Chains A and B, each alone.
Chain A
């Protein structure tokens, strides 16, 4: 928001060096983002935060400066010479909606001559980025930028019955606004009407029918206080943003209405002639209660961790418009000025919070003057949550296993969402109401689509291998509106490669490279996952599986059906499934036996259709004594008939209390392998 230093100097004496003022304002919460020197003199571009609509005008900013620089503040004159005719006899104001409009003040000016504005007025408006329209409209804009009060000038002759009614719009009522657009109104909007029809959208924009034109002679000058809610609603629904709505939405000063009307009337008489009728029509439909509270400086010091001198606090607050009455040692009863609403919302008891006043004092005192210290809260806070520890272990394991961590947006393309498996295929993806684009329009139910997309991105850039993983939330709808969706955390991986070369070796990433990593990360967390063949969207049939834990599907893996460059393999697992039985992962080690073990290999010839998981389960169920471990050693199909495979299994026997003999082991192996051959052995 632009401010002219030349204009500001009407109300307060400014230092010679603008940078000094800029620094001081910034340190007090009015961030000067730019200082420009040009044809309009020095301009400040200030980022006025939404809680300070009172500083969105020159006089309001001058008030801050007067306190920061300890200079007197000069109020602009608001004492027009008045005619004998009374304004109240020339026009009538009725407020029908007191919540939307607690106060409506108006002045009437007769016999104006509408024409171009004088140079000084045009220049000041141009300085803050406004176009000059005519002398009357320019004055209303000028007063808005001077005192912060939005004004509107009606052509009194065009107001039927010389009456202003503040009411809700009627359903279907129409209004052509000043910008020439015809607007359809609804009863949630507040309008200014004459005896017959709506003539302005309250606090947002005037209507074209009652606008001041070159032929206008008599003016009704509106200076009303509109509640922020109705103004915001109308402005948003109609897509209008005006200087007036900007201020009303943030909260205007209900006590400045009459003064602003008089100030504008005085200026109109000066620049457009005419006579100002006697008195201000001032209808108050509702009282806006003043806000009060108590400021105790000792408490302020304790809150700040600094010592604020009482005389300073008193002088600053008074300068900012607060009324202070002593209430004990270093304490006051404080009344908040009418132009400060946002930061002083009262608590249920009706009083404002002391911190509201602390903020006001401390921003003038200077936060940089408060000494830094560390709080003396003893001991640490809560320990790290189990899921946080688990997530970190998963990340570290996967990075150590060769995968690079990826990060994707939480939303993606509905087509991509449908193209790959979800652990909850029964759910529909949650759509965004205002997505950035179709590409980002639904919440992810799986991490796989994005990983495949990123794998493609890397493939297209010539990567000879891809290994990516992501740990992130997925989103599942939950029946019942308003309920938060299920948001479990998943881990997913993608990999694939051309034949990879060292200078003397060659290999290629395939499904079992991926599965080994998935099994490995699960085992790292004390969990065994079972794979079960499954048909899954986007994955090759016969090369896809669901991952189960205790019979429950907790993940999936497989080869991506669509192929570009080399094959891609994907997997996804719900992190909640990776909690070891009993919740706590044991860190205890199993001590190795002091005695040498015996290794026995056995080759089982069996039908290719017999899954390894069944053979493994049969061995586990047989539980020969002292069998410490067993593993799949070799699978060989080479010269065997179709549909037959040789599976070599390595068995490791070891007793904890003695050396086993070959004979003992052979006897156990004979029983075990006999069983395996009988159950699974291939018969011609």
Chain B
């Protein structure tokens, strides 16, 4: 602490100091100091107190020490000790007061800078991934764990890959079920991701395990249908692939996608590119199979189509159907996303309303 160097106000003790003598004097002063110290409430009063008592030039303690010359030599020792005691008392008390005032000042400063912690925080403006993308990622991840890779292909396709190679006979009503969108030049928008299976079969040798996620298109536009929607198809071709393997794979996949309690049911059906073909139902996730509004009281929900790859498809792609067999399946992504996120209408998936999109979490 630096000495202010300024003189304190003339103190009575100073004036009296000339006549002061004997050891009792500093002791009296101790009581006086204590009274004054007790009245100190802030930093300025403390500073004044300090200068008045222990100021280097005019402080009372300094004057007392100077007065030692006026004291009888025999009393000097006692006098000196008394002054020193006073000095120590004063300094200790001043230090304690300093501490106390500092503490009070810090508390006051803290009180002044208190924030309203209930004000809203500034959140980083993060974005979101589309619900369809998220569901596709999840399906890809499940199949990756079963050893599948992801295959992709063009969205504008030709008749051969979309129909011919998939055993749709030329000019057969089976094609009518697909409501195809055509380009002017005879090409078409793929109606399913099955052409990717064909491209895979044509370019690779078994064993093959792929899934084919992607956008597909139909000439169909109403409250329940969108002209563009999304599919994930799968294909496994190897020696010794069985119908049981198809069931086991779908069961593993659907139990991970929905819940471990999910049961599946296969109903024989018809697709040109598989035989036997089947529609697959899962137990309704809403009512766990008891029957509710979501599943029209049946306890089951139709979720995908599947089958054993038709030998004509394999042979057409140069794979010997007498050696290899395989299964294929395909499911819509959009309805799974709608279910998962509580979106009632497929068209809402393509409105791109940020108020909806930004709520979607992985």
Contacts and interface: CB of A to CB of B under 8 A. Distances in A.
Given A432-B183, A436-B219, 10 more contacts: A27-B267, A373-B247, A377-B238, A379-B147, A433-B183, A434-B181, A469-B127, A473-B155, A482-B186, A484-B187
B210 interface: yes
Interface string B182-210: 11111101000000000000000001111
B171 interface: yes
Contact of A388 (B150, B177, B266, B351): B150
Contact of B187 (A249, A407, A482): A482
A454 B124 CA distance: 23
Interface string B340-356: 00000000011111110
Given A377-B209, A395-B133, A404-B358, A249 B173 contact: yes
Interface stretch (A86-94, A204-212, A298-306): A298-306
Contacts of A569: none
Contacts of B350: 407-409
B223 interface: no
B298 to A, nearest CB: 11
Contacts of B252: 374
Given A50-B174, A370-B247, A381 B148 contact: yes
Contacts of B210: 381-382
B149 A384 contact: yes
Interface of B: 119-120, 122, 124-130, 132-133, 137, 144, 146-150, 152, 154-158, 169-174, 177, 181-187, 189, 207-210, 215, 217, 219, 221, 227-228, 236, 238, 240-245, 247-249, 251-252, 265-270, 272, 275-279, 308, 310-312, 315, 321, 325, 349-355, 357-358
Contacts of B238: 375, 377
A402 B127 contact: yes
Interface stretch (A330-338, A455-463, A660-668): A455-463
Contact of B357 (A52, A401, A405, A436): A405
Given A385-B150, A410-B215, A457-B351, A355 B243 contact: no
Interface stretch (A75-83, A147-155, A357-365, A550-558): A357-365
Nearest to B356: A404
Contacts of A463: 354-355
A593 interface: no
B147 A381 contact: yes
A302 B129 contact: no
A596 interface: no
A303 to B, nearest CB: 6
Contacts of B152: 385, 388
Contact of A250 (B173, B219, B240): B173
A467 B355 CA distance: 11
B150 A384 contact: yes
Interface residues of A, number: 94
A345 interface: yes
B269 A481 contact: no
A271 B146 CA distance: 65
A367 B243 contact: yes
A85 B227 CA distance: 61
Given A52-B270, A404-B127, A410 B122 contact: no
B243 A405 contact: no
B343 to A, nearest CB: 13
A404 B276 contact: no
21 contacts: A27-B268, A51-B272, A232-B171, A250-B172, A302-B242, A303-B242, A305-B245, A358-B275, A359-B275, A373-B248, A375-B241, A377-B147, A407-B133, A410-B228, A433-B183, A436-B227, A454-B352, A458-B353, A463-B354, A467-B125, A482-B158
A367 B268 contact: yes
A29 B243 contact: no
A232 B149 contact: no
B254 to A, nearest CB: 11
Given A347-B312, A355-B308, A398-B127, A372 B236 contact: no
B214 to A, nearest CB: 9
Given A385-B150, A405-B128, A362 B265 contact: no
Contact of B251 (A249, A372, A435): A372
A487 B155 contact: yes
Given A371-B244, A432-B183, A28 B156 contact: no
B130 A503 contact: no
A353 B311 contact: yes
Contacts of B133: 395, 405, 407
B310 A355 contact: yes
A51 B270 contact: yes
B268 A375 contact: no
A400 interface: yes
B352 A367 contact: no
A485 interface: yes
Interface in A568-602: none
A631 interface: no
A420 interface: no
Contacts of A343: 275
Interface in A428-467: 430-436, 440, 443, 454, 457-458, 461, 463, 466-467
